[in-house]
Amino acid sequence: MAAKKLKVWALVALVLIVAAVTACSKDNGGKASNASDSPSASSSPSAGSSPAETAPDGPTGKYDPPIEVTTVRSINAGVKFQEGDSLDSNIWTKDFESALGIKVTNKWKVSDQQYQNKMAVTMASGDLPDFMLVDAQQFQVLVQADTIADLTDVYAKYASDLTKKSIEEGGGLRMKAATVNGKIMGIPADGGGRDDAHSIYIRTDWLQNLGLEPPKTMDDVIKIALAFTKDDPDKNGKNDTYGLSLDMSLFNGWSGLEGFFNGYHAYPFNPTKGTGTNLNFIKGADGKAVWADTQPEVKTALGKLQELFKAGAIYPEFSVIDGVKSGELVTSGKVGMAYGAFWVPTWPINNMKKDVPGFDWGIYPIVSADDKPAMAQSTGGLPSKFYVVSKKSKHPEAPFILLNRVVDKLYGNFDIQFHTVVKGDVTYGLHMYPPINGSFAEKNQEAASAVQEALQTNNTSQLNEEQKQYYDQVQQYNAGDLGMWASYKLWAPGGVFDVLGQYKKNNLIFQSAYTGNPTPTMIAKGPSLRDEQVRTFTAIIMGSQPVDYFDEWVAKWMESGGKDILDEVNASGQVQ
Amino acid sequence: MIRRNWKIELPLHLMLVPGLVVVLLFSYGPMAGVVIAFQNYIPVKGIFGSEWVGLEHFRYVYGLPETMTVLRNTITISSMKIVSGLLAPLVTALLLNEIGKRIFKRTVQTVIYMPHFLSWVIMAGILLDVLSPTTGIVNRFMEWLGLSKVFFLGNADWFPYVLVGTDTLKEFGFGTIVYLAAITGINPALYEAAVLDGANRWKQTLHVTLPGIVPIIVLLLTLSLGNVLNAGFDQVYNLYSPSVYSTGDILDTYVYRIGLGNGQYGVATAVGLFKSVISLVLISVSYFLAYRLANYRIF
């Protein structure tokens, strides 16, 4: 009996200890994050009085004693780390600590798929890190809530010239989007670029097998798609190929329909899994903005897609597969043509030429259905992401000090060891590691023309280190290394940037006429309007609704919120 | 005497403390958050700083064109799931119970239990291939039987049944084990008596086994009624696509798409609160009925 009693008490003790330990560790966690909330809470009172301590007084300088700033990160599955490295500790974090006296702590890290939701939860909890990356909508919410810092003065004092160039390049569209009521509330993380405009990717070996020429008009595109479907382009004797790649996203940098629509001078954009608030507007003859997606040209293009689907040129199950799956169909040699952005050579078709002898892809500019040249649409012009600084942050200038360092290492005085390390077969993209990054809208375009010039003259002296690297990769490909195919298709003549360069030179890029943030009705009704649109477009393409259903949908869109959106957009004063 | 009992029971009560704390902290604590449903909630301003808007979110959700469709889908799908989730494991358990070979019985039990451990992300990947009309094994088989092909995941008419079918497939092994356990608990003397009275296997099942597990059936049914508005977010989210929104979209996926993705916390909470109230009513009613009809009490 006594022994039994002892056992019971032992069990109780064990349970309580476990509970206590869990509670304690929770406590510690709480303390740790408190400490990081106010990195220099303990040191700041003395900061003013002690002369031995330093802090940057402009774009450069070092904190002594070191400060700690917190942030949060998203992890991209494509980013690889060498042994011992992580987002928490790598060449960048070490450099920040030694050169700037800034220790960057990641409060959490999640995959980029979940980042947006995790960020939403963090905003809800109110426990904001010192600086963080948010999307356009979250940016707006944070501005309204008045919890992020006004960066106007800090920007003027601490941003380096190069940082300023990166933010203001391209007509200052990025800066405009980050400015609210005359105050700079965030650092635009992307935008300004036009490289997301679509090109046509076509299997050249299939073209050759069937004796076809690259497309000159939309009729050619349709002819090729049908031939790829019916004429057994892979010569395996089976009717198992499709002409045009498509998946449930409808609009996407990979196998989206933007380029196809553009061929008919239609500019719709509303991806299935998008926010439903990033919309394209066209300025009509009367100066008023109209929504691109409801224009009659969209209907024409949908009719053509319906014909393609009926003829079997589009994968019959496209409505249930995502981009990864449509990528698999293409890499397994089932689909011969796709519309896509500049990065398609790096994914998903990057290894096809290496893996299967005979496979090859050509990249062609989008074509028009008539004698008017086609304009390729770009939705990357406006920033979709911003770095913002918490109002509670003790060092609102620290993100700029970091950003100055990053743009200097990656663009100003390019340092390859901070950009890419190749070990064996694996390429480590170190430039993806920093918690804050700048970009130059035309950097890739400039690199491509520099590389091409060097290829022609055999003179590499004009290239910076990054461009030299691209040049070397192209030369490696020319020497027979098929693993460098993606680089070749990006930088060499006949590659993506040749196509994009043509668009840019001839002013053939369409951008939305509205440059403002999402309007209240867009936020409230955008998602459900998006669902209705995606459903309608999918149904029309699959032929379960006639093409004329488009008109019905337009009327319904106007009624159920579209009119309000147009009114808000036209009243915003941001239609350009 | 009472003092002595107290001494023995005290440790047992103490063992409850951690669990109780966790429940209070994570189940009761967050309930205060339902006030968000009545606020124009801005995360960083917090519950105390956000503006009160009364029932506006409820009106907004009610006014959305899809709300009624989504509600109907939710109830249809989860009702079908409840029925098939009750019958499939019950029948399987009764059949397995008739099998004498222990090894065979255990093997079947384990094999059908396995899918329960797969996540819906993985199941969805498998189902996408298995149910494909062009390459899927199910459609190949149907073609061989002379039936026409069915686009299971892309056809709005079929989609709800696919949801019910795959959910049952994944979960019925789990239910089977519960029923088998209940069957084991039946007093063997009852079977002996039935045999003496001349009952065959079928009569034994009908008059001994089934009445013996009625309490468990009622319990599981009562509990599942409380879940009528939870039609399975994971499953639907991983399997659906725009073309089946009309019949496959459920309350949770709908709120996820329009709410959290776009930071509409007030709306999402309003829907959550609505779900909880309906569930509370349903579970109370079904518990009352279970008590009245089957004289079964949980508490």
* All residues at 6 or more sequence positions from A100 whose CB lies less than 8 Å from its CB, including other chains: A56, A61, A62, A63, A401, A402, A405
Distance from C-alpha of A254 to C-alpha of A341, rounded to nearest angstrom: 6
Nearest to A440 by CA among A474, A477, A460, A410: A410
Q: Which amino acid is present at A68?
A: E
- Total beta-carbon pairs less than 8 A apart between chain A and chain B: 107
Burial class (CB in 10 A: 0-12, 13-18, 19+), B32: exposed
- With cut-offs at 50, 70 and 90, classify the pLDDT of residue A24: very low
Distances (CA, A) of A266 to A222, A244, A377, A482: 17, 18, 9, 37
Q: Which two tokens stand for residue A318?
A: 């496209």
Residue A129, preceding peptide bond in cis (omega within 30° of 0): no
**pLDDT tens column, A371-385:** 999 999 998 777 888
What's the whole-number mean pLDDT along residues A136-163? 89
Contact B81, B164 (CB under 8 A): yes
Give the residue from chain B lying closest to A142, CA to CA: B44
* All residues at 6 or more sequence positions from A26 whose CB lies less than 8 Å from its CB, including other chains: none
Considering only CB atoms, B44 lies closest to which of A11, A147, A534, namely: A147
What is the model's pLDDT at position A1? Answer: 45
Residue B104: how many CA atoms within 13 Å on its side-chain side?
A: 7
Write out the E strands in A151-236: 179-180, 183-184, 187-188, 199-203
Q: Which two tokens stand for residue B264?
A: 């509409």
Give the residue from chain A lying closest to B159, CA to CA: A320
Contact B152, B134 (CB under 8 A): no
Distance from C-alpha of A349 to C-alpha of A358, rounded to nearest angstrom: 14
* All residues at 6 or more sequence positions from B236 whose CB lies less than 8 Å from its CB, including other chains: B77, B163, B248, B249, B250, B252, B253
Contacts of A561 in chain B (CB under 8 A): none
What is the model's pLDDT at position B40? Answer: 82
**pLDDT tens column, A237-251:** 999 999 999 999 999
DSSP tag of A518:
P
Q: Which two tokens stand for residue A40?
A: 């220099």
Interface of B with A (CB under 8 A): 11-12, 14-15, 17-18, 21, 42-46, 60, 64-66, 128, 132-134, 151, 153-154, 241-243, 245-246, 257-258, 260-265
**pLDDT tens column, A416-474:** 888 888 888 788 888 889 999 887 888 888 899 999 999 999 998 888 878 899 999 99
What's the whole-number mean pLDDT along residues A120-138? 88
- With cut-offs at 50, 70 and 90, classify the pLDDT of residue A40: very low
What is the model's pLDDT at position A270? Answer: 94
What's the whole-number mean pLDDT along residues A271-291? 90
With H, G, I as helix, E, B as strand and everything else as coil, classify residue A118: helix
CA distance B182 to chain A (A): 29
Nearest to A65 by CA among A56, A75, A57, A54: A54
State the distance between the two ends of chain A, measured CA to CA, in whole angstroms.
87
- Three-state SS sequence of chain B: CHHHHHHHHHHHHHHHHHHHHHHHHHHHHHHHHHHHHHEECCHHHHHHHCEECCCHHHHHHHHCCCHHHHHHHHHHHHHHHHHHHHHHHHHHHHHHHCCCCHHHHHHHHHHHHHHHHCCHHHHHHHHHHHCCCCCCHHHHHHHHCCCCCCCCCCCCCCHHHHHHHHHHHHHHHHHHHHHHHHHHCCCHHHHHHHHHCCCCHHHHHHHHHHHHHHHHHHHHHHHHHCCCCCCCHHHHHHHCCHHHHHHHCCHHHHHHHHCHHHCCHHHHHHHHHHHHHHHHHHHHHHHHHHHHHHCCCCC
User: Phi/psi at A573 (nearest 5 deg)?
Assistant: 75, 15
Considering only CB atoms, A272 lies closest to which of B42, B45, B242, namely: B242
Distance from C-alpha of A162 to C-alpha of A303, rounded to nearest angstrom: 48
Cα dihedral across residues B170, B171, B177, B183: positive or negative: negative
Distance from C-alpha of A69 to C-alpha of A562, rounded to nearest angstrom: 43
What is the model's pLDDT at position B2? Answer: 55
pLDDT < 50 stretches in chain B = none
CA distance B257 to chain A (A): 7
Considering only CB atoms, B242 lies closest to which of A147, A276, A534, namely: A534
Distances (CA, A) of A309 to A246, A475, A538, B22, B148: 10, 41, 11, 55, 19
What is the model's pLDDT at position A438? Answer: 83
Contact A283, A249 (CB under 8 A): no
- With cut-offs at 50, 70 and 90, classify the pLDDT of residue A48: very low
**H/E element, A388:** strand A385-389
Q: Each residue of A488-503: b (16+ CB within 10 Å) or e?
A: bbbbbeebbbbbbeeb
User: Dihedral through CA A84, CA A87, CA A90, CA A95, nearest 10?
Assistant: -160
Domain B69-294 of CATH type 1.10.10.10:
no
CB atoms within 10 A of CB B12: 11
What's the whole-number mean pLDDT along residues A156-161? 93
Tokens 């190949």, residue? Answer: B140
CB atoms within 10 A of CB A180: 15
Distance from C-alpha of A194 to C-alpha of A170, rounded to nearest angstrom: 10
- With cut-offs at 50, 70 and 90, classify the pLDDT of residue A43: very low
What is the model's pLDDT at position A172? Answer: 67
User: Phi/psi at A283 (nearest 5 deg)?
Assistant: -85, 120
According to DSSP H, which parts of A76-111 are helical?
Answer: 91-95
pTM to 2 decimals? Answer: 0.75
Q: Which two tokens stand for residue A2?
A: 């006594």
How large is the angle between the packed helices B210-225 and B159-184, nearest 10 degrees? Answer: 140
Distances (CA, A) of B188 to B184, B192, B216: 9, 6, 18
Which residue out of B56, B245, B262 would a mutagenesis test of the A interface target, given it has the greatest number of A Cβ atoms within 10 Å? B262
Give the residue from chain A lying closest to B51, CA to CA: A145
State the distance between the two ends of chain B, measured CA to CA, in whole angstroms.
26
* All residues at 6 or more sequence positions from A141 whose CB lies less than 8 Å from its CB, including other chains: A123, B42, B43, B44, B263
pLDDT at A485 over 60: yes
Q: Which two tokens stand for residue B141?
A: 């088989």
Q: How far is CA A531 from the centre of its chain?
A: 22
Write out the E strands in A13-162: 67-75, 102-111, 131-135
**pLDDT tens column, B24-80:** 999 898 888 889 889 888 776 778 878 888 898 888 888 777 888 999 999 999 999
Q: Write down how long chain B is.
A: 299
* Interface touch A8/B12, C-beta < 8 Å: yes
What's the whole-number mean pLDDT along residues A69-82? 87
* Interface touch B18/A19, C-beta < 8 Å: yes
* All residues at 6 or more sequence positions from A500 whose CB lies less than 8 Å from its CB, including other chains: A194, A195, A197, A199, A342, A445
**pLDDT tens column, A535-569:** 999 999 999 999 999 999 999 999 999 999 999 99
Tell me what percent of the residues of chain A surpass a pLDDT of 70.
Answer: 90
Residue with the bigger pLDDT between A55 and A312: it is A312
* Interface touch B18/A142, C-beta < 8 Å: no
* All residues at 6 or more sequence positions from A480 whose CB lies less than 8 Å from its CB, including other chains: none
Q: Each residue of A506-540: b (16+ CB within 10 Å) or e?
A: eebbbbbbbbbbbbebbbbbbbbbbbbbbbbbbbb
* All residues at 6 or more sequence positions from A551 whose CB lies less than 8 Å from its CB, including other chains: A299
Own/partner long-range contacts of A488-492 (Cβ < 8 Å, ≥24 apart)? A489/A345, A489/A361, A489/A363, A490/A342, A490/A345, A490/A346, A490/A444, A490/A448, A491/A447, A491/A448, A491/A451, A491/A452, A492/A451, A492/A452, A492/A455
Q: Which two tokens stand for residue A433?
A: 């590691």
Contacts of A276 in chain B (CB under 8 A): 262
What is the model's pLDDT at position A572? Answer: 77
Distance from C-alpha of A71 to C-alpha of A132, rounded to nearest angstrom: 5
According to DSSP H, which parts of A442-519 are helical?
Answer: 443-457, 465-478, 485-491, 496-505
* Interface touch B245/A535, C-beta < 8 Å: yes
- With cut-offs at 50, 70 and 90, classify the pLDDT of residue A9: low
Residue A239: how many CA atoms within 13 Å on its side-chain side?
A: 9
Give the residue from chain B lying closest to A22, CA to CA: B18
What is the model's pLDDT at position A527? Answer: 86
Distance from C-alpha of A90 to C-alpha of A92, rounded to nearest angstrom: 5
Considering only CB atoms, B46 lies closest to which of A126, A320, A325, namely: A126
Considering only CB atoms, A123 lies closest to which of B11, B43, B132, namely: B43
Distances (CA, A) of A383 to A49, A140, A439, A517, B299: 41, 13, 11, 10, 58
Contacts of B153 in chain A (CB under 8 A): 317, 320
pLDDT at A35 over 50: no
Tokens 């092909």, residue? Answer: B149
What is the model's pLDDT at position A50? Answer: 44
What is the model's pLDDT at position A383? Answer: 84
Contacts of B17 in chain A (CB under 8 A): 16, 19
CA distance B277 to chain A (A): 24
Tokens 């010569």, residue? Answer: A235
Residue with the bigger pLDDT between A268 and B297: it is A268
- With cut-offs at 50, 70 and 90, classify the pLDDT of residue A23: very low
- With cut-offs at 50, 70 and 90, classify the pLDDT of residue A208: very high
DSSP tag of A395:
-
Checking DSSP bridges between strand A199-203 and strand A337-340, what pairing results, if any?
antiparallel
CA distance A293 to chain B (A): 18
What's the whole-number mean pLDDT along residues A28-47? 38
Contacts of B14 in chain A (CB under 8 A): 12, 15-16
Strand partners, A75: A111
* Interface touch A535/B246, C-beta < 8 Å: yes
Give the residue from chain B lying closest to A2, CA to CA: B8
Contacts of B261 in chain A (CB under 8 A): 116-117, 275, 527
Contacts of B265 in chain A (CB under 8 A): 124
